[in-house]
């Protein structure tokens, strides 16, 4: 049997119910679920076109930045032909995916200018 993890602290509600302390834990209840539904729809469209979780394989950061900036420019210019804001979030999360899970891959993490600048300083 699995045991419940505990922070070692408890909180008590007015009803008398007890629950583990949430200090330091992500406040998932603060996420705007109505807006995340729009982003989920963007992922759904991508899954239909490219397959489920294709983006998790990693895409070059430069490709994500280019797409993100194109969608931002279109949105700023008033284009509402597609959900440009969800596309921006998708590209941002794709960049985060590379940084967190593929940072060692220079073909995906291809905009690591700090490394390039350091090399130039060392020469």
| Annotated domain spans of the chain | 32-122
- How large a percentage of the chain has pLDDT more than 70? 93
- Residue range 16-27: mean pLDDT, rounded: 94
pLDDT of residue 109: 96
User: Is 41 in a helix, a strand, or coil?
Assistant: helix
What pLDDT score does 54 carry?
97
Residue with structure tokens 């590209």? 91
- Section 17-43 average pLDDT: 96
Structure tokens at 120: 């130039």
pLDDT at 45 over 90: yes
Q: Do 84 and 36 form a contact (C-beta atoms < 8 A)?
A: no
Q: Report the distance separating Cα 52 and Cα 44, nearest Å.
A: 8
For residue 72, is pLDDT > 70? yes
């Amino acid at each position: 049997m699995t045991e419940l993890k505990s922070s070692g602290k408890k909180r008590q509600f007015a009803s008398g119910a007890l629950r583990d302390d949430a200090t330091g834990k992500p406040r998932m209840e603060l996420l705007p679920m109505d807006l995340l539904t729009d982003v989920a729809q963007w992922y759904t469209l991508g899954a239909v076109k490219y397959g489920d979780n294709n983006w998790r394989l990693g895409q070059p950061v430069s490709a994500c930045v280019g797409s993100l900036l194109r969608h931002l420019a279109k949105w700023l210019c008033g284009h509402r032909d597609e959900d440009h804001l969800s596309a921006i979030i998708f590209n941002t999360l794709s960049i985060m995916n590379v940084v967190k899970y593929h940072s060692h891959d220079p073909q995906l993490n291809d905009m690591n200018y700090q490394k390039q600048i350091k090399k130039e300083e060392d020469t």
